[in-house]
Structure 1
Amino acid sequence: MTEPPGTVSLAEAPPPTDEASKPATAQRVQPLRRPGRWIATAVVLVVVAQFAHGLATNPFYQWDRFRYWFLRPTILDGLVITLEVAALSAVLGLLSGVVLAVARLSGSPVLRAVSWTYTWLFRSIPLIVLLIFLYNFSALYQTLSLGVPFGPSFVRFDETKLATDMVVAVVGLSLNEAAYAAEVVRGGILSVDQGQHEAAAALGLPKSYQFTRIVFPQALRSIVPNYVNQLIGLIKGTSLVFYVSLLDLFGSVQSMGSTYPGDIVPLLLVATVWYLILTSAVSVVQFYVERYFARGATRTLPPTPLQKLRTGLGDLRARIRREAAA
């Protein structure tokens, strides 16, 4: 029986070679070389090293005077005032922002109009103008009273005694902060899936319970990172209260700088470092708050810095053991 042309019979097939009979071995995968990345990294490291060297060796910065001023009682007193103003303004601003956001989303056209008008007005006025206006508010209204609208008053307040420098600073920052916080909260509420609202309404839950237990906790996942940005801006914005005669951190630095003009640069560095410390502390708190509200939304929570350190040390020990065994 003849084979079709172009075919090879089993009798004529070549015997298997030694190469084909050898078992497959694992081959090391060579990583893709990225010369551009290494060049960019080297350039960045050189620039950072030059900047750090100039920062440490330039006598113009006067680091000895920086160390002298950093923990002086005058600076620390101003820091305490900054913390008080920022904390009070943040709480009052956030609470007012929640009320304004709920009013903006309500079914009442009057509440929606009032909330929109407030947000539009106080986002349009510069903070320094608002603070100076409130500082001179007593020129317009020397007394404040509570009573029947367009009728007799029952309680009167002397505005000149009531509006201290601290009150003016907190009220001004809170009014400004509430306008921005209202939009942050409103955006967070709108980010909640509409099905959550419908499911809560289908269960017959009261509106207040729907908001406080279902909608708002989910909205916080979006509100927290955005409002922390506002909070950091608020901390830096407290430097403007110096213009209403309140000696906060920046006001103390300005006062000492006018008294000791030769130390203006180290004093500005002192204020810079303290603001960096405050904003970094807020960022750390933000990480843990976001991690807390991420429960149930992600399969695995992001590791904390301590967990990352433990994992890195564990991997390093395992690598050392493997190399020692090899």
Structure 2
Amino acid sequence: MNLEKRVLVTGGTGLVGKAIETVVKEEKQTGAHEVLNETWIFCGSKDADLRDKVETDALFEKHKPTHVIHLAAMVGGLFHNMAHNLDFFRDNMSINDNVLHASYKYKVVKVVSCLSTCIFPDNVTYPIDETMIHNGEPHTSNFGYSYAKRMIDVLNRGYHEQHGCLFTSVVPCNVFGPHDNFSPSCGHVIPALIRRMDDAMRNEEKTFTVWGSGKPLRQFIYSLDIAKLFLWTMRNYDSIEPLILSVDEEDEVSIAAAAEAIKHALGFEGRLLFDTGRADGQHKKTASNKKLRSLFAPEFTPFHLAVRDTVAWFRDHRDTARL
């Protein structure tokens, strides 16, 4: 007999949480059998301050989840990280410790926590894989966030060894899509570029300046694709070992190419310039999805189509999007 699941999604009002909610609604509409015995609860910062142990425990007491997808985090783009590394470390350490201890305390069957490819060592051979998370220091630009995220893996192992808990983690590459944070200062590269280039078009500017050289390489994954992988992981992946959720290595694109794709999707006719006086951050962090593909056959939305759909969503929701 299948366990009746009550799935609590922390950070459920953010980019990935909203994508998971969209996919779950689609499954319910099509009558997918996996979702029939699942109740989904999407919580955001208005429901509880997860940095606070008392509020975290109260959230778990209220909803009594059997499963948790832990997305909540203090997040930001390159320049926001560089200016607030201590805050990123302290806030994320508190959030992760409170959520995982509440999951243990309230006997949650499985927790799937979200890490990031930025946690991997800066000086490493490529492609990176799941065995390399702790093999050196992360890039100096976001060491606070990176070390806090790495500690989720340490906590998972500790709860498993000491209490037998099935707490695991996934490592997505750069996620973007509807409901992203489009702030130029706090958002990640794709949404920040979309917002800034849209502003340039509104101001009838003839050029647009990309911050940095445009040379760094990234693997980008559409939020609806990563949402489906989170559902698969929650339902099927029963190891505490981290699992990289990434597009293929050959799908890596430069920041310059990403800016060109956004330019095309927006219809911006001006010229792109590059401010090489600004920091580039980590040059590359190419991840291998070999382990994922050995377990599952994911399908990925082509990058240019995902950019097109994200731009369309932003334009339709500019007045209510996070700016």
TM-score (norm 2): 0.21
Higher relative contact order (CA 8 A, sep 6+): 1
Structure with greater proportional strand content: 2
Q: Which has the larger radius of gyration?
A: 1
TM-score (norm 1): 0.21
